[in-house]
Amino acid sequence: MATIGAEEDIRVVRSAPDLHLARLKSFFVSAVLICIMPAVLLAFWWAASTKGWVSAQVLPQPDWVLQTFLDLCANGDILAAAAVSFRRIAEGFLIGASLGFLFGLLIGKSKTADSYLGPTFRALAAVPSLGWLPILILLLGIEESLKIVILAKACFVPMAIIAAEGARNVPKGLTEVADVLRLRASTRFFKLTIPAMAPFIASGVRLSLSQAFVSLIVVEMLAGTDGLGYMMVWGRTLFQLDIVIVGMTVVGVVGFALDFVLKRAELLIRRGSGANG
């Protein structure tokens, strides 16, 4: 008995590692590809700063920057700044994206609402978040509420546009089934509207978070007293370009990681919703 089982196992096991190996290989290949460009940049930077092409005042050496990064990590400055920034993003996103979702649902579902509110919304949305900054500074000062409002606006617009698109894209055939079965409003919402919109909601979340991230850094640079963006401004006023570069790197890496994770999540949701077969 045991031998027969073992023989069967061998047959199964033989193909499994091949598959794993192939997956591992493609993972490494893509990891290497991703790393090529940063490595080239790093080499160029290193050459430019050590060979004196650019003065160290403007472009500090990579190892100084690394040292600064480690110092900032050790004394908790970076963590504190990042925590402040992320809390702002979270607040702005929760407010902006949920309102954007509801608004998108409204103008996507109701033609009347769309003809009343749609044009105004699209006109206001065409003004970039930072275009609102001067007037909002006058209204709100440069306090916390300014940042939250800017971020909420940055999240609201993409979420509303995509949610409206999603609401218009609920398959008509499935809506007719709901009519024939006389589904209750709540069932209709949770078992038809939301699942049908799920891929759109996922894109909306991704887009609004990346919008929020970009706006946040700029807002903190222009009107901030803390956060990652402020840390970079502060470094520049001190002529500590190493701090600025650390800030840029952290922002870039975090932004990339955020986008990567959200893209993955979006893909999973798209698959799960069965929209692509």
Q: Among 66, 106, 140, 174, which residue sits at the site for another protein (rule: CB under 8 A)?
A: 174
CB 185 → another protein: shortest distance, Å? 11
Nearer to another protein, 152 or 198 (CB): 198
DSSP state at residue 183: -
The distance from CA 107 to its chain's CA centroid, rounded to whole angstroms, is: 25
Query: Which residue of 18, 63, 143, 176 would you call a contact of another protein, by CB under 8 A?
Result: 176
Instruction: Quickly tell me which residue has 């890496």 as its tokens.
Output: 253
Between 120 and 186, whose beta carbon lies closer to another protein? 186
Shortest separation between residue 199's beta carbon and another protein, angstroms:
11
Residue 163 CB, shortest distance to another protein, in Å, is: 18
Say whether residue 267 binds another protein (CB under 8 A): no
SS3 206: helix
Exposed / middle / buried, residue 185 (Cβ in 10 Å: 0-12, 13-18, 19+)? exposed
CB of 192 to another protein, least distance (A): 7
Given candidates 7, 19, 55, 274, which one binds another protein under the rule CB under 8 A?
Answer: 274
142 near another protein (CB under 8 A) = no
3-state class (DSSP) for residue 277: coil
> Does 184 participate in binding another protein (rule CB under 8 A)?
yes
H helix or E strand, kind and range, residue 20: helix 2-50
Among 54, 179, 264, 265, binds another protein (CB under 8 A): 179
The number of residues that bind another protein (CB under 8 A) is: 21
- Confirm or reject binding of residue 187 to another protein (CB under 8 A): yes
> How far, CA to CA in Å, does 50 sit from each of 47, 53, 58, 61, 63?
5, 8, 12, 7, 10
Position 2, amino acid = A
CA distances from 65 to 175, 176, 246 (A): 58, 61, 7
What residues line the site for another protein (CB under 8 A)? 173-174, 176-184, 187, 191-192, 195, 198, 272-275, 277
